Structure 1
Amino acid sequence: MMRTYIHIFLGVVMTCFLSCGWMGAAKGSRGKPSAKEGIQVKVASYNIRYAAAADEKTGNGWAIRKEPLANLIRNHGFDIVGTQEGNFSQMADLITLLPEYDYVGYPYAGKTSKNHTASIVYKKAEFEVLDHGVFWYSETPDVESIGWDATDTRICTWARMKHKATGQEFYFFTSHFYYRYRTAKQNSGKVMVRKIKEIAGNNLPVISTGDLNSSPRTSQITDVLTYLGDSYVLSEAPRSGPKGTGFPGGVFEGAPGSRIDYVLVNDRIRVLSYTVLTDSYNNGHYPSDHLPVVCDLFLKK
C-alpha cells in the first residue's frame, strides 16, 4: 500500500512540474533586469479590425477610429506591435499618424491582395528588420493556401529583428487563426509550433503575438504551449485589465468576451508585466473590436 501511495505522489509531483514549469521559470528569475543581461521591450498584440463599410453605419468607421487607435499606440509607448486584419490603406494611415514607426506585413490572400494583413509595427529608430517572411495556416504553409475546413486564408508574418543600440537580435511573429471551424483551428496550433521552430531555431528570443480565436483550454493552445509560454501566466507583476480581449465582430463597446489574443514567448524571455488596455473614446467606444494585450518583456542575451 505504501508503494502505491509513493507512486501516486510522484505522479502528482511530475504533473505539477510539467504544467507549472513556465510559471516556475518566471518566479525563479525575479529581480530587476540588468542591461548587461539583455534588453527590455514593450510589445503588444492588437487586432485593429478591418475597415468594414458596416462600421461606418454604426459610427465606428475607420476614419473615426484611426486617430484614437494611433494615439493608444503612441501614448502607451509600444516598441513593437503585432497587428491583425488591417488592410494596406489602414496600415498606411497608421504610419502617417505615427511617423516614428514603420512596419512589415503580408496580406492573407497573397501579394496581389490589398485586404487583411498580419503586420509588425515597430519603432524604426530603435529596431531594424533583418529578414522577414510569411507562412499560411494550412496543409501547405509555404504557399498561399486555405487550410482544412476554413473558408479563407490565414497567415503568420514573421521578422528577424535587431535592437540597434545593442545589436541584440530576436524573432517576432504575428498570427491570425481561422475563427469558425474546429479542424482548421486545431491544426493551426501544430503548424505554428513547427514553423516557428523551423524559422527561429533555438538560439534567439522568440515573441509570438496573435488573435488565435481560441480560448486557453483548447487543444490548439495546448499544442502551442508545449513550445511557448503564455505571458498571461508568466507575468511577474500582477496582471491588469480585464481577462477577456475580444468582442463579437463589429462590436466596439461593453465587456469583452473570451481571452483569444495572446503574447507568447520562449524561455529566453522574462515577462515583467501583462496588461489588457481599455482606452476608449466617444462615450466608451473602443478603437477596435479587440482590446490590445501589452507586455513588458526582458529579452535575455
Structure 2
Amino acid sequence: MKNLLQNVLLLLPLLLILSCSSSDLSMKVVSFNIRYDNPEDGVNRWEARIPVVKSYLTEQKPDIIGMQEVLHNQVLVLQEILPDYSYVGTGRNDNKTEGEYAPIFYNTNKFKLIDHSQFWLSETPDIPGSKSWDASLTRIVTWAQLEDKNSGHKFYAFNTHFDHRGVEARMESAILMSKKISEIAGDAPVIATGDFNIRKDHPSLGNKLYENLIKSFKENSSLENSAYISKSSGTSEGLTSTGFRPDWESKEGHAIDYVFVNDYFEVESHQVDKIVEGNLFISDHWPIVAKVSLIK
C-alpha cells in the first residue's frame, strides 16, 4: 500500500503536466478594417468613431484582432484604448511608420509572442514598399507566432489587406500569401484574417477571383473560410463593407472580409457584427467574428 501511494505521488506531477498540455484553446478572432483616418469622412471621421471602437472591443474582448487600414496615429490611439493588448506590424511603405499597417493585436494576458514579421504582396516580398503586377497600392501581410500562456499551445496568425483594383494583383496575392503561410508556419495551427477585396459573383469577373482565393488557400496552406465550416446555424457571411451608406440595411451585398483557419481548428460560430450608433458607424466595414477552438 505504501509503495502504491509513493508511485501515485511520483506520477502526480506528470499527470498535471499532461493535463495542462492537453487543455483546450478557445479564441475569439476578429477581422476588422477600421477605416484609415480620413478627415473628409464627416460625421464618421476617426475621432468621432474612437469611442464606438473602444466600446465594442472592450465589450467583445477578442483574443486576436487582425486590423486593416491602420495609420500610425491610429495605432497610438489603439494602444491607449486597448491596455491589455500588444501588436505586431509596421507601415507598409517603409517597414516603419509610413503608410497603412495591417497589425495583429493580441491579448497579452492570454498569449506570449514567440516570433513575428511581415512580407509584401509583390514579386519581391522581402523588399519593404515593393509592389507588383497591376496593384494600385503597396500591400502587406503581417504575421505572428503566439503561445497560449495556459496550455502552451502555439499557433500562427496572419493578417492582410489585398489591393482593391488590380485583378492580377489579387490573383497573385492569394497564391503568394498561401504559399508563404505554408513556408512560415509549416505544419502548425494557422488563423488568417483580412480584407481581401474579393467577393463572390463580381459583376464583370464572376467567381474568378474568389475561386482562386479559396483554391489557393486550401491547396497551399489547408485553410478554409470559417463562414463555411462554422457549427453555428446562425452563421452569416453577408455584406461586410458598407461605405458608410445610410441605406445599408436595404442593400444586398457580399463579404470581402474573411477569417480562415486550417484543420487544427473547429469553428464554433461566425458572425458579422453590424455596429451603428445613430448615424455613426463603427467603420465602413463591419467586424467579422469567429469563435474557434484548437482541436488537435
Q: TM-score with structure 2 length normalisation? A: 0.84
1:161 equivalent in alignment to 2:146: yes
Q: Give every structure 1 segment of 4 or more consecutive aligned residues whose post-TM-superposition deviation is greater than 6 Å.
A: none
Q: What is the distance in 1 between the residues matched to 2:245 and 2:73?
A: 22
2:46 to 46, 52, 62: 62
CA distance in 2 between counterparts of 1:148 and 1:230 reads 26
For residue 227 of structure 2, what is the aligned residue in structure 1?
232
In the alignment, the residues of structure 1 paired with residue 57 and residue 106 of structure 2 have an alpha-carbon distance, to the nearest angstrom, of 10
The letter of the residue matching 2:269 is S
Q: Is the 8 A contact 1:232 1:239 kept in 2?
A: no
Rounded to whole Å, the distance in 2 between the matches of 1:294 and 1:35 is 27
Q: How many residues align?
A: 263
Partner of 2:260: 264
Q: Does 1:123 align with 2:83?
A: no
Is 1:40–2:18 an aligned residue pair?
no
Q: CA deviation at 1:252?
A: 7.1
Quote the residue 1:254 is aligned against: 248
How many angstroms apart in 2 are the aligned matches of 1:294 and 1:265? 13
Larger Rg: 2
Contact 1:82 1:121 in 2 (8 A): yes
For residues 215 and 225 of structure 1, do their structure 2 counterparts lie closer, same or farther at Cα, with a shift above 3 Å needed?
A: farther
**CA displacement, residues 12-70 of structure 1 (integer Å, 9 cap, x when unaligned):** xxxxxxxxxxxxxxxxxxxxxx9945310111100000001211xx2111111111012
Q: Retained in 2: the 8 A contact 1:175–1:209? A: yes
The 3 A distance-change label for structure 1 pair 240 and 208 is: same
Equivalent residue, structure 2, for 1:16: none
Gaps of 5+ in 1: 1-33
CA distance in 1, matches of 2:96, 2:113: 23
Alpha-carbon distance in 2 for matches of 1:235, 1:290:
21
Measure, in 1, the Cα distance between the counterparts of 2:89 and 2:245.
Answer: 25
> Contact (CA 8 Å) 2:111, 2:148: kept in 1 or not?
yes
**Quick one: which amino acid aligns to residue 201 of structure 1?**
G
Give CA-to-partner distance per residue, 1:57-110, whole Å, 9 cap, x none: x21111111110121111112111100111121111112112111111121112
One-letter amino acid matched to 2:48: I
Instruction: State the 1:259 CA deviation.
Output: 0.4
Structure 1 CA distance for aligned equivalents of residues 111 and 180 of structure 2:
23
Cα distance in 1 for partners of 2:151, 2:23 equals: 11
Distance 1:112 1:119, change over 3 A: closer
Specify the alignment match of 1:11 in structure 2.
none
Q: Which amino acid aligns with 2:163?
A: Y
Could you tell me how far 1:221 is from its partner in structure 2? 1.6
- C-alpha separation in 2, matches of 1:274 and 1:210: 15
Match of 1:174 in 2: 159
Q: Structure 1 CA distance, aligned partners of 2:123 and 2:246?
A: 34
The aligned residue for residue 291 of structure 2 is 296
Q: CA, structure 1 residues 54+253, in 2 after alignment: closer, same or farther (shift >3 Å)?
A: farther
Aligned to 1:5: none
Counterpart amino acid of residue 39 in structure 2: A
* CA–CA separation in structure 2 for the residues paired with 1:102 and 1:264: 22
- Which segments of 5 or more consecutive residues in structure 2 lack a partner in the other structure? 1-19, 201-206
Alignment of 1:132-147 (within 5 A): 132-144=116-128, 145-147=130-132
**1:49 partner amino acid:** R
Give aligned-pair identity as a percent. Answer: 35
Q: Is the 8 A contact 1:43 1:297 kept in 2?
A: yes
Deviates more, 1:83-92 or 1:238-247: 238-247
In 2, Cα distance between equivalents of 1:162 and 1:254: 39
* 1: CA distance, partners of 2:116 / 2:66: 13
Residues 60, 252 of structure 1: 8 Å contact kept: no
